[in-house]
Chains A and B, each alone.
Chain A
Amino acid sequence: MAEIDFALLKERFDYLTERESADHLAVNCPSEKLVEFCTVLRDEFGFDMLVDVTAVDWDARSPRFTGIYHFLSTSKHEYLRVAADCPDDINPALPTLCGLYAAANWHERETFDLMGIRYEGHPNLRRILMWDAYPYHPLRKDFPLAGIEVPLPAADVAEQTKASVIAAPMMGGPFVSSGDGPMSQTEPRARDESWTETKEKPTD
């Protein structure tokens, strides 16, 4: 059983950089090299299972979005984390891995749905958890925890009931201390207090 370490990968792919990780080996890969890198990972390094695809929104930082992939080698029983920054902060996009791993299909749809990352070349890039006409990407950091009012997915029901999908009331929402500052300011409070059911939603 050959241990996979960073030097071994770096020797082969000089564009990789090591990524800080508390557990498994993790590498940063430029997005344009991702497909090439993953093809070799699957075919030569034995990472034959794509267990998870997700993305992180770094908020104010640029590059803002990082795609995260977790691979498992079913022969060596090792994990590998591959991170790829999206070059564009406004319209984040990454190449799809659907051609390599069938598992990527749904995972990428989910990441597109919740984080708004476009996977170029994906055969069926539609929302999977939210409904098709949903206008936002809820896992982005600028999306409020309470949600935003949107029309009901079914137009006929909306017309009859005059109802819409309203934001969740935040009163009594999760109470969390911010952790730093004097104790008077770190008193636990709901994290998104910008508006509640008694206080109007701020308009921008």
Chain B
Amino acid sequence: MIEVRNLTVEFDTRVIQRDLSFSIRRGSIFAIMGGSGCGKSTVLKAMIGLLRPSSGAITVDGEDYWVATEARRASISRRFGVLFQSGALWSSMTVAENVALPLQMFTSLAAAAIAGLVEIKLSFVGLVAAASQMPAELSGGMRKRAALARALALDPEILLFDEPSAGLDPITSKRLDELILELSKGFGATVVIVSHELPSLFGICDDGVFLDADTKTAIAHGSPRALRDTCDHPTVRAFMERGRIDPVRSQGSQS
């Protein structure tokens, strides 16, 4: 569904990642993994239209995203639901208004219908009680959940999450994982997750790519579980092993 070919992203003439190629199947839950500062969020920004890549192509359903006109890009972007790293809620609107804005802008539903849909999205993330609060009054985790509800507002086909579990307690994190699974199975949504939370990655992702900060390119492809079990690259091993309870001292001995 989404094909990335030879993508190079730069920031102020500094190359962040180069020659990335991976493809995301429809309906899969795809993980973009890597150490801090390797450019995962930058790659995500290139995919959603915020940062023009310096070379390479991103194709969504066969259509090259960055070659298309701005109007066409805007209509493709409407099929995305994005959760930013710090939520990025609009600070002068309440939580309910934040979730309702995409519906008001891009559908012709009546106000009562929009209110009903907003309540459902907020109940998916457990924030119905905070609907009339301003973002400044919410905790960091609540802001993230509100931003997730907003990302779901138009029932998008492609969901892109930038560090969704960062700042969430384990229970809410588990609930979020369940929600992602339900959305993927129920609505057939394709989910792209940028994350370091190993339990979530192992639990729900079925495909992925591992980016490296030193070589500035992808060093492994495959689901997090497959990479944990079969990949030999030292950086990937170190990343995955942090999630183990006892450090593996010699190869072959498994708990």
- State yes or no: do A and B come from one complex: no
Report which B residues bind A (CB closer than 8 A): none
A interface list, Cβ under 8 A from B: none
